[in-house]
Amino acid sequence: MQRTRVGNVEVVSLLDFTYTFKPEGVYPGAADQVAAYPHYLDTDGQVLMPCNSFLLRADGRTVLVDTGMGPESDGQLMTELSEAGVRPDEVDQVIFTHLHGDHTGWNLDRASGQPLFPRARYLVPRGDWDHYRGREPAGRSFVRDVAPLETLGCMDLVEGDHTLTPSLVTLHTPGHTPGHLSVLVESAGERACILGDVMLTPIDIEHPEWTSPFDGDHAVAEATRRAMLDRLATERSLVGAAHLPAPGFGRIVRVEARHSWRAGVE
Ligand SMILES: [Zn+2]
């Protein structure tokens, strides 16, 4: 758990779980070059990918971005939230950057089937809802974590530039999934971006052209990644990224034509 401020908005990173993947599983076309990034690998040379959620307190509202892997993976999101001093019933909105199962795991209480955030509206990207709802066979996490939100009457579909609060607005950042959203924070002259899976590792920032099987549409994902790298470097935004090294805070730095990741909140 790490807390920072962006203008008048409080931004808290909450770590649920950490994956490891073989380099060839993340970058099949460039696996032999991954060893050049030892600080993002574990001692066996596997790529480390944490699952960070972000809590935003803005304009009197409490917004949770993504709900992690869930209890089956021994996820720690609810413990982290408690350590941040936030009760589940204080959350007004849960918003998903996208509907992959590592971002929706703590939506519902497994025993009762009821929402774990009982007062919250759950905001679902319309492009992902349309994409995953029609799948045959339906995805396991979609059936378990997402579809029931509609029946429970706590779900709203959102797309494009959707205003969450005066300081928080969504931005369509497709490619990883069709409806993928990022959340832009702007307050008192400061900016941040909760980026979801636009960049999966810091290596993506140096090599936006390396394709990963995790991205649904490689060409669109690369175009979005390049556009966001330019924008975030130009705006000097703080970035909060789901799978970059915990707590997932940092900035995009541009030197000549190349971008790189500078971890931290400064
Ligand atoms: Zn993810």
How far, in Å, CA of 105 to CA of 146, rounded? Answer: 9
The structure's pTM equals 0.97
The alpha carbon dihedral of 241, 242, 244, 248 has a sign of positive
The percent of residues above 70 in pLDDT, for the chain, comes to: 100
- pLDDT of amino acid 257: 87
Output the CA angle 40-44-48, nearest 5 degrees. 30
- Residue 131 Cα to ligand 1 midpoint, Å, equals 16
- Residue 167 Cα to ligand 1 midpoint, Å, equals 25
Domain, as residue range, for 68: 2-263
- pLDDT of amino acid 4: 98
Per-residue model confidence as pLDDT tens digits over 168-188: 999 999 999 999 999 999 999
For β-strands 238-241 and 61-65, DSSP reports them as unpaired
- pLDDT of amino acid 134: 85
How far, in Å, CA of 158 to CA of 186, rounded? Answer: 19
**Which residue, 192, 161, 173, 266, is CA-closest to 11?**
192
- Residue 134 Cα to ligand 1 midpoint, Å, equals 21
Per-residue model confidence as pLDDT tens digits over 2-11: 999 999 999 9
- Residue 101 Cα to ligand 1 midpoint, Å, equals 8
- Residue 103 Cα to ligand 1 midpoint, Å, equals 6
Number of domains in the chain: 1
How would you class 16 by CB atoms within 10 Å of its CB: exposed for 0-12, middle for 13-18, buried for 19 or more? buried
How far, in Å, CA of 123 to CA of 40, rounded? Answer: 32
The yes-or-no verdict on residue 136 having pLDDT over 90 is: no
Domain of 240, CATH number, reads: 3.60.15.10
Task: Count other Cβ atoms within 10 Å, centred on residue 260.
Answer: 15
